[in-house]
Amino acid sequence: MSATASAPSLPGTAPLLEVESLDVVLGRGWRATQVLSGVDLAIGPGEIVGLVGETGSGKTTLARTVAGLVDPAAGQVVFEGATLSALRRGARRAERRRGHLQLVFQDPLRSLDPEMTVHDIVAEGVRLQGETDRAEIRRRVLTALGQVGLDDSVLPRTPGQISGGQRQRVSIARALATEPRLLICDEPVSALDASNRNYILRLLEQLRTSLRLSIVIISHDLSSLAGIADRVVVLYRGRIVEDGPVDQVFAAPEHPYTALLMASAPSVRHDRELTPRQLTRTVAEAGALPEAVLEGLGGPDACVFATRCAFAAAACAVQPPLVTAGDHRRVACHRHSEWLTLARSRGADGRLAHDQLSADAQLTTEGQLR
């Protein structure tokens, strides 16, 4: 598709990681499910990218595919100029041992071996790289622990003997010990309380600067990225629906799903411009749509968000391409220039203001005619 925007990255630098038209299918035969469709993404050196989406949107599968743990059905993953998906088994194992790309998982209590000491956990990657000198291993373990603000007192302990926040720091130290270029953190803070969450996010920010690391933070919580990410990528049912600089996306989301995520986030200050109900279609509203339109929206080719979107019209029966929308921004929505006005005209309780009802109905019909 020529209209499709290529993945933006910071100007003047070659991206560290490039994901191109990635399709991933999990399962075989009748169980096969397409988890990712046409994902294009570039991560620049020293960039922090937030990857947001709900359960089942494919965030973790994307991370696993990038790490070479899942084979894509189509498309490719290029890391430091080498096409990972084309590597044969031995070469891929060698690439993994190099440790330039590391994963950090959500629940360190479950992802760390409960019987290994902190020293052995952090040293494992270094040993896999081929380092055999015990003094050198210990030096690198201590360096990595120092980078996350831990000292040698935790070395002989097991994951069960340290606190939750310390455990997450140990998982980050484990990843840092191999001197990676790219860190993919899968929900690194969702198991932590607010104070520890901020501590870990601040730590990642510092590491980006001091080690010139690129970091991908996978999260289901959009607002926890506000203080740290440069760019945010929103996934919905396996597709990128929005991508852009974090300040711009949060100031004015282009996709109704991004707006829904923001409207749904609980707020201490009750300062939301839009409510979730202004952005989602009620059952009654779905019933009011012409049957042919409704059928199209539920079809396999429809926009991934069409089943919930309050603004879905006949055109949305076809998946919109991810197009450029302003500087460094991409959005996949047929109605990205219209929905905000429509949302504002919907009452906060989800019902349309009386005089707006016919106007929106007209729009829907027009869309259908086109």
Residues that bind other proteins (CB under 8 A): 54-55, 163-164, 193-195, 197-199, 201-202, 205, 220-224, 226-228, 246-247, 250, 260-270, 276, 283
The encoded tokens of residue 114 equal 């409960």
Can you give the length of the chain in residues? Answer: 370
Task: Please state the closest distance from residue 189 (CB atom) to other proteins, in A.
Answer: 11
Give DSSP secondary structure letters for 64-94.
HHHTTSS--SEEEEEETTEEGGG--HHHHHH
The DSSP code for 299 is S
Cβ closest to other proteins, residue 113 vs residue 247: 247
Contact 66, 59 (CB under 8 A): no
The encoded tokens of residue 343 equal 């949302």
Cβ closest to other proteins, residue 101 vs residue 207: 207
Cβ closest to other proteins, residue 38 vs residue 165: 165
Contact 195, 113 (CB under 8 A): no
Cβ closest to other proteins, residue 227 vs residue 299: 227
Q: Using alpha carbons, list the distances in angstroms from residue 108 to 111, 120, 151, 165.
A: 5, 15, 18, 9
Task: Please state the closest distance from residue 26 (CB atom) to other proteins, in A.
Answer: 17
Helices 194-211 and 164-176: crossing angle in degrees, nearest 10, is 20
Task: Please state the closest distance from residue 181 (CB atom) to other proteins, in A.
Answer: 24
Contact 140, 101 (CB under 8 A): no
For residue 23, give the 3-state DSSP assignment.
strand
Q: Which residues of 177-194 are buried (b: 16+ CB within 10 A; e: fewer)?
A: bbbbbbbbbbbbbebbee
Cβ closest to other proteins, residue 96 vs residue 231: 231
Task: Please state the closest distance from residue 31 (CB atom) to other proteins, in A.
Answer: 14
Task: Please state the closest distance from residue 188 (CB atom) to other proteins, in A.
Answer: 13
Helices 164-176 and 134-147: crossing angle in degrees, nearest 10, is 130
Cβ closest to other proteins, residue 89 vs residue 269: 269
**Residue 46, by phi and psi: left (phi above 0), alpha (psi -120 to 50) or beta?**
left
Task: Please state the closest distance from residue 90 (CB atom) to other proteins, in A.
Answer: 39
Contact 134, 141 (CB under 8 A): no
Cβ closest to other proteins, residue 3 vs residue 268: 268
Task: Please state the closest distance from residue 221 (CB atom) to other proteins, in A.
Answer: 7
Task: Please state the closest distance from residue 267 (CB atom) to other proteins, in A.
Answer: 3
Q: How far apart are CA 52 and CA 55, in angstroms?
A: 10
Task: Please state the closest distance from residue 196 (CB atom) to other proteins, in A.
Answer: 8
Best CA proximity match to 171, nearest among 113, 122, 215: 122
Best CA proximity match to 342, nearest among 270, 262, 281, 292: 281
Cβ closest to other proteins, residue 191 vs residue 302: 191
Cβ closest to other proteins, residue 142 vs residue 201: 201
Cβ closest to other proteins, residue 270 vs residue 354: 270
Task: Please state the closest distance from residue 223 (CB atom) to other proteins, in A.
Answer: 5
